[in-house]
Amino acid sequence: MTGFGEGERELSFGRLRVEIRTVNHRYLKLQIRLPNGSERLQPALESRVRERLSRGHVSMTISVEPLTEEDDGSVPVDLVRARGYRDALRRLQEELGLGGSVDISLVAAFRDVFRAPDRDSSRIELAEQDVTPALDVALEQLVSMREEEGRRLARDLSGRLEVLQSELTQVKERAPHRLTEERDRLRQAIRELLDDGIGVDEERIAREIAHLAERWDIHEEVVRLTSHLQMFRETMEVGSEDGVGKRFGFIAQEILREVNTIGSKANDAVVAAHVVTMKEEVERLREQLENVE
């Protein structure tokens, strides 16, 4: 799931900033950037992140902006570099016979004319207690954003389940008519092949229909699929302390298994069309589950 969080705090030697970003990933993958000299904190910080997150590609950056003796908001100008640009532009005019004038707007277009204030690049040895307050704030923001995304995903998943349930209901209603229509088709085919004086062997047709009923029976698949859909809904409502992503993935796999079995026993264009729709919805469901924690 995607999200972003940030936290700051003032320390005696500068301003510490923590930024955390997450994008979708099946597992938890952490990438932590620390100031030079504070690498020893990585295991403890990683453990703290794992307490709140269980899935996603997590990028965390911790930086410190050192305090300066004077910071009046002025922007330093590199006059030597500015003169160099001016002289170079004038040489271009002379050599190439170019018109125009070298003015302030042209020189100011070179961004390195305005130098950023120099920062102390020495090693910064942070303590765990220096980082954790800002980290906790960043994690809280991140989790809040991911929870909001989770609510949107839940609405989408509920819609997918409703479509699947609707299609399954129509399959259940259609299933008995397959045998009735097949019986009538067999009768008509036999009548067309036999002379008018010979009657149709109803007992033979009944045996054939009974055989087809056994081969085409989808009652067990319908019951199991109904159970899987209900299990999915209950998991959405109850949740889990360890996350529901993997459980959802397993249930979706079982849903697809039953849908495929119904399709293999369809032997009917109407049922086959419903099965195609259900397969499409299951695939969309599984795609969304990649975002769920």
Residue 118 lies in a domain: no
Q: Which residues pair with 18 in a beta bridge?
A: 7, 62
Task: Identify whether residues 213 and 268 lie together within a single domain.
Answer: yes
Residue 166 lies in a domain: yes
Distance CA 60, CA 142 (A): 11
Determine the structural domain holding residue 87 and report its residue range.
79-113
Band of residue 282 on the pLDDT scale cut at 50, 70, 90: very high
Task: Identify whether residues 40 and 95 lie together within a single domain.
Answer: no
Q: Which residues pair with 66 in a beta bridge?
A: 14
| Three-state SS sequence of the chain | CCEEEEEEEEECCEEEEEEEEEECCCCEEEEEECCCCCHHHHHHHHHHHHHHCCCEEEEEEEEEEECCCCCCCCCCECHHHHHHHHHHHHHHHHHHCCCCCCCHHHHHCCHHHECCCCCCCCCCCCCHHHHHHHHHHHHHHHHHHHHHHHHHHHHHHHHHHHHHHHHHHHHHHHHHHHHHHHHHHHHHHHHHHCCCCCCCCHHHHHHHHHHHHHHHCCHHHHHHHHHHHHHHHHHHHHCCCCCCHHHHHHHHHHHHHHHHHHHHCCCCHHHHHHHHHHHHHHHHHHHHHCCCC
Tell which wins on pLDDT, 110 or 20.
20
**Average per-residue pLDDT for the chain:** 83
Nearest Cα to 58, choosing from 115, 19, 87, 89?
A: 19
- The pLDDT tens digits for 127-181 are 999 999 999 999 999 999 988 888 888 899 999 999 999 999 999 888 877 767 7
Tell which wins on pLDDT, 45 or 180.
45
Task: Identify whether residues 54 and 162 lie together within a single domain.
Answer: no
User: Do 154 and 235 touch, CB atoms closer than 8 A?
Assistant: no
Query: What residue type is 99 in one-letter code?
Result: G
Band of residue 188 on the pLDDT scale cut at 50, 70, 90: low
Task: Identify whether residues 179 and 93 lie together within a single domain.
Answer: no
Distance CA 89, CA 106 (A): 9
Nearest Cα to 245, choosing from 228, 260, 232?
A: 232
User: Do 42 and 32 touch, CB atoms closer than 8 A?
Assistant: yes
Q: Which two tokens stand for residue 265?
A: 């026993």
- Cα separation values, 40 from 14, 60, 127, 175, Å: 20, 15, 9, 65
Residue 64 lies in a domain: yes
Task: Give me the pLDDT at residue 121, please.
Answer: 44
Q: What is the Cβ-side half-sphere exposure of residue 194, based on CA atoms within 13 angstroms? A: 12
The domain tally of the chain equals 3
Task: Identify whether residues 20 and 152 lie together within a single domain.
Answer: no
Distance CA 107, CA 198 (A): 106
Task: Identify whether residues 9 and 102 lie together within a single domain.
Answer: no
Residue 26 lies in a domain: yes
Task: Identify whether residues 203 and 187 lie together within a single domain.
Answer: yes
First to last CA, the chain: 7
Distance CA 175, CA 220 (A): 13
- The pLDDT tens digits for 209-241 are 666 656 667 888 889 999 999 999 998 888 665
Q: Which two tokens stand for residue 68?
A: 């300066």
Task: Identify whether residues 93 and 189 lie together within a single domain.
Answer: no
Looking at the whole model, is its pTM more than 0.85? no
Task: Give me the pLDDT at residue 13, please.
Answer: 81
Task: Identify whether residues 189 and 103 lie together within a single domain.
Answer: no
